[in-house]
Amino acid sequence: MSESSELAVRAAKLDAGDGLAGVRSRFVLDDVVYLDGNSLGALPAAVPGRVEDVVRRQWGELRIRSWDESGWWTAPERIGDLVAPLVGAAAGQIVVGDSTSVNVFKALVGAVRLARLGKPVASAASAASTASVASGRDEIVVDATTFPTDGYMAESAARLTGCTLRPVTPAEVPGVLGERTAAVLLNHVDYRSGRLHDLPGLTAAVHAAGAVAVWDLCHSAGALPVGLDEHGVDLAVGCTYKYLNGGPGSPAYLYVRADLQDRFDSPLPGWNSHAEPFGMRSDYEPATGALRGRVGTPDILSMLALEAALEVWDGVSIEAVRAKSLALTDFFLECVAAYVPSGRVESVTPVAHGERGSQIALRCDDAGDVMKRLIERGVVGDFRRPDVLRFGFTPLYVGFGDVERAARVLAEVL
C-alpha cells in the first residue's frame, strides 16, 4: 500500500471515531476543504431561517415592539452569556457589540484608568500597590507582533492617556514590566504563525507588577480553552466571525472581570451604557455590571444571526474541540511531511501542543501563487505576506479526510 493510501485509510478511521463528526451537519458545507475558519467561519445551518424571522416578523410585523417583545434590548448581555462558557467566564461579565478594534480601544483606555486607581487586580502582589505608585503608571506594553489594528488602537490609547507605548514580543514582556506599566495588551494566539502564548503565566507577571492585563482572543475563542476567570484576566476582547462562526462583520465582545466592573471607566460612554438610558439626562451615570461596555444602539441583524450561530455549541465541550484541533493539526503536519517535497515548505507554527493554536502556517517562497492554485483545486486557506500559507482548522466541521486531501493537493500543486 502506498504512503498516500495508508494516510487516507488512517484518515477514514479517525473520522469514523470522531466524537464531533455529527456537528458537521449543523453547517452549510460543500465538497470544498475549507481551512479558512480562522478568518471567516462557515455558515451554521440555523442562521438563514433565524435572520429571515428577525427581518420578516420581528422587524416587519412587530417593528419597534421587538425591542421588548423579541428581546432586542437585552441581546448584548444575553449573547455575551452564550460566549462566556466558550472562554471560561461566568455569566454577567461579557457584553457583545461593536468591533474588535473599538473594544480594544475601550479595554486599553479603561485598563490604564484602572491601573491609575491603584489596586486594579485581585492578586496579593498588586494589592500592595499604593496610589502614589499607581499615579505614575504611564506606559502601555503591547505585543510587537500583534495584528496591526491592535497596535493602531494601542497607539491612540497611549496618546489619549498620556502614556508611552512600548512594543515588545510576548517573551520579552516579563522583563519590561515595572512600576511605570499601566496596561499590557497581548494576543492569545498569533494571527500569522498560530503560536499560542502563555496566558496564565503572562497574566500573573502583569499582576505581579501591579498592571492590568488585556487579552485579544480573536484566534483562540472557540478553538481552545481560555480560562478567563480561572487565570484572573482583567479585560479581554474578541471577534465572533472566526471560530465562533457568527458571520462576516459579526459583533465583537468585551469581557470585564466581575470585581472590576464598578471601576471600569469606558472612554466611549454612550446612551446604551447609561444607568438610565431612557432618562435622557445630560449627565452621564454608568450602568452597573458588564453593561458599562455598551455604547450605542446594538446592531440587531448581525447580533441575532450570531445568537443563532452559537446554537451549534449545544452539547459541545471546548475541551473536546481542543483535543480534536491538536489531532487535526498533528495529522496535517504528518501528511505534509509525507507528501510535500523536502525543503519546499517550512512550518512556522510550534510543534509543541502547549504553544500551538488551531492553525498551521507554512512558509513557502511563492505562497501567494500557491494559495491561488489551491483554491482553484478546492482547498481554501489564505495567504499572508510575504510568504506564509495559513491553514485554520475548525474542529466543528473539519475532518481528518479533509486534512489528508489538503496536504495531498498541496503536494500536487507544489
Catalytic residues: 147, 216, 241-242, 390
What SS3 class is residue 44?
strand
The DSSP call for residue 238 is E
Q: How far apart (Å, rounded) are the C-alpha atoms in residues 34 and 224?
A: 19
- Helix H or strand E encompassing 164: strand 164-168
> Which residues are 189's β-sheet partners?
196
Q: SS3 of 33, please? A: strand
Dist. CA 103–CA 121, nearest whole Å: 20
d(CA 298, CA 251): 9
Strand 94-96 and strand 139-143: the pairing is unpaired
Backbone phi, psi, residue 12, to 5°? -60, -40
Which stretches of 283-357 are assigned E, i.e. beta strand?
346-347
Grid coordinates given for 366 = 511563492
CB 381 within 8 A of CB 389: yes
Pinpoint the alpha helices (H) of 136-191: 148-161, 173-176
